[in-house]
Structure 1
Amino acid sequence: MTNNRTRAQLFGAIAMDYSRLRPGPPAAALDWLVGIDCETVVELGAGTGLATRQLAKVVSEVCAVEPDERMLEAFIVDSTSVSLRQGSAEDIPVADGSVDGVYAFDAWHWVDLSRAVPEVARVLRPDGQFGVAWTTIDTTLPLWAEFWSVIDGAHEGDQQPGRFTLPEGAPFAKPEGYTLSWVRPMLLEDLVSLLCTYSPVLAMEPAERAGYRRRQRDFLKQHSLVQGNDLVDVPYRTVCWRTRRRNAPFLRVFD
């Protein structure tokens, strides 16, 4: 099992906190990613249903795919248009050419691109839509750069959140990008708990993680932008990419 895969499985242990604290994509991201001709879609790495709930409002049918049984147990979507299946981006449990769109929200950086891209191409109809998005903290201000520094370097190369590349020979059009900036008010304690839902913190030993949590809480409380405020405005960026499947075979390129 690769290190990336091992870290991807850390989230199941805190599935309820993940569902409560992580944000789903803003509505404007869905408006940009999902076209009017998209009715049946697959969502990869659906987690606890944060994005699924929003997808279900704009398409007719969502097949939510998630590999971790613990995340599946915490999955909450009250919609008859959603079906939940255990599976992965590398092994999508739907038939060839059967869906109008495939989407991944805050999940594409965990996949094996050499296996996942052919799978996406397989399940999409010709001209079908493929979109990915990441919602991350905007670390432009030094306060947030310092507070979130633990996640710097957690992913490298093409596996960095926000970066989207396709292998040579993949039957997709040139990807288009779109970025939104927005603000989310959060209680200070919830913000510290949110930080502790990221894989570098989850990978710490319990005592190390508890000490880290205390230090980060103290850091925020002492900062001039936060002092005296129970509610903190947290700056976010949502980075979106979209493309369409060409009516052509997938040509793998080998070294």
Structure 2
Amino acid sequence: MTIDDLGRRVAADVVGDGGLAGLRRLSGVIAELEERRTGVVEELRRGRVATWEEIGQACGMTRQGATRRWAGRLRARSFGVAAESYQHGRPGYPQALIGSAVPREARRVLDLGAGTGKLTRLLVEAGLEVVAVEPDGAMRAQLAAAVPKAAVREGWAERIPLPDGSVDAVVVAQAWHWFDPAVAVPEIARVLAPGGTLALVWNVRDESEPWAAELGALMHRSARQEIDTRPVLPAPFGEAERLEIRWEHATTRAGIVDLVASRSYVIALPEAERARLLADVEELLATHPDLAGRDGIAMPYLTRCTRVRRG
């Protein structure tokens, strides 16, 4: 039996008598198979077992097609190996954000791509019922320990493990750029109650501070991740409301090193290059005139929020 014959046989068995029930079964199997395929690609790339060209050929696509499809997603899935650094080094969010990101009348909130719970904690402390969905197991472990009052679930923006219309608001902190909007937008709209809101949040280092600008230059000397922190959301979402909050995160030199170590593009560096970068960051923190001799450091941030309502 050829691979094509096997595929046709499996598809026929899943579809059965067809109809909407058959379509749902087929869609579920396709989603699971795609997740498995992504896992195999991840193993091949992390072990340097296959090139993108070889992976593309195996999947019936070009090298460029395979890279576009999976390279970004594999970077998003890399955080688990640095979950502890992420928890220690990444900043939280200013308290003032909650009133703008979540409407006053909201009661049940989904924190989507919740990471280690940096925003989840604020949502719970605001008295909200919070479901935190995160795909990475190591990140979920940190999240569950840090915010035990949240309901922590495994899931993806493209496949949210919640019923239709089950939450009043969805918040996405530091994660929207990892999602596939074509799939994530209708899936988020599905779980939102009528009139519910979606808030997209990013912390951006304020590099108007000279030492922070030097830190940014070091972090991006090998790779730069360009993120649109003012995205335009398609239907069924309405006009966007924008908010920007300037604040400072109290941290330490060790915390800043962990911050750098938790960046996806730093995680992906060859070990020797990654070690050199972290050593250079430590030297900057120890010798810069504005930081020398200090352990406590105020890292300047801008928190940007885009909120839209489901029409």
Using structure 2 for the length normalisation, give the TM-score: 0.73
Establish whether residue 140 from structure 1 lines up as the match of residue 208 from structure 2: yes
Q: Quick one: percent identity of the two aligned structures?
A: 38
Establish whether residue 202 from structure 1 lines up as the match of residue 270 from structure 2: no
Q: Is the 8 A contact 1:56 1:79 kept in 2?
A: no
1:148 partner SS: helix
| Aligned-CA RMSD value | 1.7
Q: 2:133 aligns with which of 65, 68, 74?
A: 65
Q: Partner residue of 1:45?
A: 113
Mapping of residues 94-173 of structure 1, within 5 Å: 94-149=162-217, 150-151=219-220, 154-156=224-226, 160-167=227-234, 170-173=235-238
After alignment, is 114-123 or 182-191 more displaced?
A: 182-191
Structure with greater strand share of residues: 1
Q: 1:183 aligns with which of 245, 248, 269?
A: 248
Aligned CA distance change for structure 1 residues 60 and 172 (closer, same or farther; 3 Å): same
Deviation at 1:78, TM superposition (A): 4.4
Deviation at 1:184, TM superposition (A): 1.9
Deviation at 1:146, TM superposition (A): 2.3
Write out the 4+ residue segments of structure 1 that deviate beyond 4 Å after TM superposition. Answer: none
Q: 2:257 aligns with which of 192, 206, 225?
A: 192
1:235 partner SS: strand
Q: Is the 8 A contact 1:196 1:202 kept in 2?
A: yes
2:156 partner SS: coil
| 1:134-173 Cα shifts (integer Å, max 9, x gaps) | 11211123321221233486434xxx15232213xx1111
Aligned CA distance change for structure 1 residues 184 and 24 (closer, same or farther; 3 Å): closer
Q: Partner residue of 2:98?
A: 30
2: CA distance, partners of 1:193 / 1:77: 17
2: CA distance, partners of 1:189 / 1:57: 27
Aligned CA distance change for structure 1 residues 151 and 124 (closer, same or farther; 3 Å): farther
Q: Partner residue of 1:245?
A: 310
Q: Is the 8 A contact 1:134 1:161 kept in 2?
A: no
1:144 partner SS: helix
Choose 1 or 2 for highest CA Rg: 2
Aligned CA distance change for structure 1 residues 219 and 72 (closer, same or farther; 3 Å): same
| 1:46-104 Cα shifts (integer Å, max 9, x gaps) | 11112111111224311110011121122224444x21111011111111111101111
Structure 2: give runs of 5+ residues left out of the alignment.
Answer: 1-37, 39-69
Equivalent residues, number: 240
Structure with greater helix share of residues: 2
After alignment, is 52-61 or 18-27 more displaced?
A: 52-61
2: CA distance, partners of 1:62 / 1:189: 31
Structure 1: give runs of 5+ residues left out of the alignment.
Answer: 247-255
